[in-house]
Each structure stands twice: as C-alpha cells, then as structure tokens.
A = this chain, B = another copy of it.
C-alpha cells in the first residue's frame, strides 16, 4: 500500500503557499482606480457623472454567475462518483481557492501591471479572469479525478495557472486573438493539459470498481450541470465589450446550449440498444454547446449560426463519450475520469475553429466600421488589421494553445509522478476514505427508528 498520509504534506503546502500569497499580494496587488477610494476624484477627472459607470455595475452580476459555475458548477458536476463526493466538491473548493489567488498575481504581471509604480491594479474584471483561470485548472482536475492526492492537485494548479497566464499573454496580447469565453484559453488549454497529465499518470491496474454513480450521486451531479448550463451565457459574455458585445454573447450562448441539449439526448438514445438515455451524456455533453461558443459568442455569428454550432457539438461530444473515450483509454492509455476530452478539449477546439472562421468573415457592412474596430480591438498595435488576417491569428492562437498545453501537461505529469506526493494506490482510487473523514452510513431513516439500540452503538463516533 502507498503512503497516503497527508498530515504534514498537505498543511505544509497550504500554509506555505498561502503565506507566499500574502507576501506577494503585499508587494504587488493594489485596488484599481474603480475600486480605490480615489474613485470620487477619478469621476471628476474623467467627467463621469454617475457611479454606475464604474465597471462593477457592468460586470458584477456576470462575475457572480461565473463564480457559481466555478465552485458549484464544477464542484457538483464531479460528484457523480458514488464514493467521491467529498473529494469532488472539497478538492474543487481547495484548488480553485488557491488558483484564483495565484491567477490574480500571474495574470496581473502579464496584463495589468502599472509600469509607473510596479503594482498590479485589480478590479472586478480581474476577479472574473482569475475565476476563468481556476476553471481551466478544474477542467484538468476532471481528467485525474479520484486518482491523485490533494498535494498533487495543488502542485498541478501552481504550474497550470502559470502556464495559463503565459499562453493567455501570447495569444491575446501578442497575437491579438479574441477569445472572450475562452474556447482556447480556458477549455482547450485545460482540456489538453489535463489529458497530458493523466496520460503520464497512467495506471495499468486501476481498479474501476468505484468509478461509477449511484442514483442520488447522479442527481447531485445534475446540480452542477444545470448551474454550468444556465450561467454559461454569463461566462461567455462576462468580459466582452460593454453594450452589444455582452448582450450578443449571452444570446448566442443561450441559443447554442439549447440546441445542444436536443442533439445530445437524441444521440444518447439512438446509440443505446434499448433507446434509454444515459445520464453521463446529459450531465456533460449538454454543456459542450457553451464551450464551442467561447470564442465566437461576442461576434456577429448570427443566432442560427449558434444553433448549428450547438447542435453539432452536442452530437460530437456525445459520440465522444460513447466511442472515443474507451478507445483513448485502450490505445492511448488516457484515463479521463470525467471525459474532459469530450466536454472541453474537443468542443474547445471546435470553438476555436468557429471563432477563426467567424472572425475572418467579418465585414464592415455587418459590424459598421467603428463596430468592427471595437469588436476585434483593431487598435493600438493591431490598428489596421483586417478580418481575414485576424482569422489567421486566431488559427495561430489555436496552435500555440495546443502546443503549450500538451507540452506543459507532459512536464507537469512527470513532476506529479514523483513518488512522494501521497497519491492513492490503484485499489483506493475514487474513494473518499483515503483523504477524508467519512461518516458511517447507517440504514436510512425509518429503519433506524425501529432499531435504536444498535444505532447508538455504531454512531457515537461521528457526532458534530
């Protein structure tokens, strides 16, 4: 049996990293002009008449929706495992809480460093971007779910957030690609990174006994699914341009997701010989339509375009769960617990392509001259760029993301393979008992009440 004792390792990593966060925040992080008390003067200087022009009011509702997606959405989506609910929702909570802090720093250094004073200035958009980065880490978590220790997860998060920020800087700031909902930045990156990690951590003798659901764990999982599904329009529009950009991003994502549900259920039913629907598909593939809208949602894709993308992605994602995942496990030795290849990597890839095509096809007639400049930020260093060129840069961004995520995932996978991180043995995977104090489950309610003496004996230990 492996040594899975977390008593010193996990507290040490948590406390040292939290201490590092405090020191680095102390040195670098400051309020930006909209969250600083100087706002009262900034308004006068910028001739702003109303507090409503503070970005807080444009983005805070979307931020909270994204926040729910990250903590409840991803956390509960993964509770489908019959014996890994605590690990799913609890480790999700832990690594997201670390990732958002580290992301504020990493993204800050790359994107919002004030060169006058060397400080990172943060506001509500920084919080959204930090949550986005955490989402990418949680996607990767889905691939290794149940097979790693919390220390491994924290180490993965440390490296993944770092590489995420590098990739984001290259494709958004250097290449000038657009990716407001993160088909590339978030989903492709987190997806391929996680697949690479789980490939390196391949377990030939993995005990799959506990890799399955029970009736109520599937319902808990649907809580996650629905919150992801409902709030995805906010996810894809949270950092889009004020006004029509956010508005259109929400509409396109809404349409794509609705279409995706119908095609997912169609394919799920048609591929099972009794025509029954599979909850795994409903829990996961219905969301692929949101992933595939990540790049193009804010663009003038047209609503029926969104329906087409959502419909096709639902089909592809569901087929991926049915046919591709088993093949990937058998031939590529990729054990992908949550099927992130089908929910994030492939749909993210589709989203990147849709985005590149939509960008390349943009015209002044559709966007207006000023609208085109605003939509694609053909300003500053990208002044004068034209849509077809933009399409090329979108494709370049796609390639960069693929390369960095795969190479990064492989390297991090080898780091996580080191023997002292406390990962579970093959027969203890997908089991909360390894890292959590688990209450003894007694026979349920009414049976108990007829049988109190036995009960008293067995449950003394778990009182709160």
Within 8 A of B (CB), among A10-55: 10-12, 14-15, 17-19, 21-23, 25-26, 29-31, 34-41, 43, 50-55
At the interface, yes or no: A270 with Cβ under 8 Å from chain B? yes
Is A80 a contact of B464 with CB atoms below 8 Å?
Answer: yes
Cβ A439 vs Cβ B213 within 8 A: yes
B7 contacts A38, CB within 8 Å?
no
Q: Which residues of B contact A65 (CB under 8 A)?
A: 64
In whole angstroms, how far apart are the Cα atoms of A80 and B250 in the complex?
32
A195 to B357, alpha carbons, bound, how many Å? 49
CA gap between A278 and B338 in the complex, in Å: 25
Query: Is A212 among interface residues, defined by CB-CB distance under 8 A?
Result: yes
Q: Does A198 contact B (CB under 8 A)?
A: no
- Which of A92-100, A377-385, A392-400 sits within the interface? A92-100
B308 touches A22 (CB 8 A): yes
Q: Are B7 and A274 in contact (CB under 8 A)?
A: yes
Complex contact A442–B214 (CB within 8 A): yes
| A201: Cβ under 8 A from any B Cβ | no
**CB-based closest 10 A-B pairs:** A7-B275, A39-B244, A51-B243, A14-B266, A97-B261, A25-B304, A37-B371, A51-B242, A11-B266, A26-B304
Residues on B with beta carbons closer than 8 Å to the beta carbon of A279? 86, 90, 436-437
Instruction: Tell whether A79 is near chain B: CB-to-CB under 8 Å.
Output: yes
A112 contacts B by Cβ under 8 Å: no
Smallest CB–CB gap between A424 and chain B, Å? 13
Q: Return the chain B residue nearest A70 by Cβ.
A: B230
In A339-354, the 8 Å CB interface with B consists of 339
On chain B, the residues within 8 Å of A81 by CB distance are 464
Does A246 touch B at the CB level, under 8 Å?
Answer: yes
Provided the pairs A64-B65, A259-B22 are in contact, do residues A437 and B277 lie with their beta carbons within 8 angstroms? yes
Assess whether B449 is in contact with A243, with CB atoms less than 8 Å apart. Answer: no
- Expressed in whole angstroms, the Cα–Cα distance for A68 and B67 within the complex equals 14
Given A243-B51, A304-B25, A337-B464, also A438-B446 (CB < 8 A):
yes
- Whole-angstrom distance between the alpha carbons of A90 and B242 in the complex? 35
Which of these binds chain B: A158-166, A178-186, A221-229?
Answer: A221-229
CB interface residues, A 255-284, toward B, < 8 Å: 255, 257-259, 261-263, 265-267, 269-270, 272-280, 282
**A60 to B233 CA separation, bound complex (whole angstroms):** 10
Q: Does A209 contact B (CB under 8 A)?
A: yes
- Which residues in B have their C-beta under 8 angstroms from that of A433? 449
Please report the C-alpha to C-alpha distance between residue A196 and residue B209 in the assembled complex, in whole angstroms. 48
Q: Which of A150, A222, A234, A274 has the most CB of B within 10 A?
A: A222
Other than A6-B269, A67-B230, give 12 A-B pairs with Cβ distance below 8 A: A10-B265, A26-B302, A50-B50, A52-B57, A71-B226, A72-B223, A72-B230, A75-B222, A93-B261, A276-B436, A279-B436, A431-B449
* A219 touches B (CB below 8 Å): yes
B213 lies within 8 A of A462 (CB): yes
